[in-house]
Amino acid sequence: MASETKEFSREELATHNGEDQPSIYVGYEGKVYDVSESKLWKTGQHMKRHPSGVDLTEEIGGAPHGPEVFDKFSQVGTLKPEKDPMDEGVPDFLLALFEQVPMLRRHPHPMTVHFPLVFNLVFPFFNVLYLLTGHEPFEKTAFHMLILNVPSMLVGMSTGPLTWWVNYGAKMSNNIKIKLSVSCLLFILTLVALFWRITNPEILVNMGTAGWAYLALSSSFAVLVGILGWFGAKMTFPH
């Protein structure tokens, strides 16, 4: 295999299609190969499906063979990395970090957001269990979940905008507007419920108007989590 001799842009690679220039080149995983001598590339198109002069990295997955076919061809250069338009404005040190640890680009929010989602669901669940059974530890568990919810929501709400910025270019959409507004509302209600429970620890013991209002407030958490989950899923699985 020949040593790397030139760095090709996508535009330069496209000219080596057997028409603009007699040479036929293709790209794969950042490398450029000369396939001019292959009978299967003589027309500038492989199997009437894959054009030459392009990067075939994405196409190999659907081929009946693997990338080992490139071993028989000479490497004539490398392909210039194509900068994602979404990377505009993202500091170079972050882009370098994402290249070294790819999971840091998309995973921080999905990894951290599940904790507040669970705490928000468990909080009303254990309050209802307490009212049904009268078992005091259930109410204490609900209170502890409420306490843990505050820092977990702060983490989830900070990684969310970060993920939105580096992956979606901070482009506003209806899904984002709903997620941002509902998240802020849920966090405010969490603080209200926590302050209410701290200042009135017997609020569910002596069940009255305040107790039913507190229970309704805690139950609204499950509804808001459902809304967040629905619109989050629409972004992750749009179809």
The pLDDT profile of the chain, 239 residues, written as one tens digit per residue, is 444 468 888 888 788 876 766 788 887 888 888 877 776 656 555 444 557 677 777 666 545 555 677 777 878 888 887 666 667 777 778 778 877 887 887 788 888 988 999 999 999 999 999 999 999 999 999 999 999 999 999 999 999 888 888 877 778 888 889 999 999 999 999 999 999 999 999 999 888 899 999 999 999 999 999 999 898 888 776 55
How far is 239 from 233, CA to CA, in rounded Å?
A: 10
Contact criterion met (CB below 8 Å) for 132 and 116? no
The continuous run of DSSP H or E covering 128 comes out as: helix 108-133
Across the beta sheet with 7-8, the strand order is: 7-8, 74-79, 31-34, 25-28
Q: Is 51 left (phi over 0), alpha (psi -120 to 50) or beta?
A: beta
Contact criterion met (CB below 8 Å) for 51 and 17? yes
Domain ranges of the chain: 7-82, 106-236
Closest CA to 126 of 137, 113, 114, 111: 137
CATH of domain 7-82: 3.10.120.10
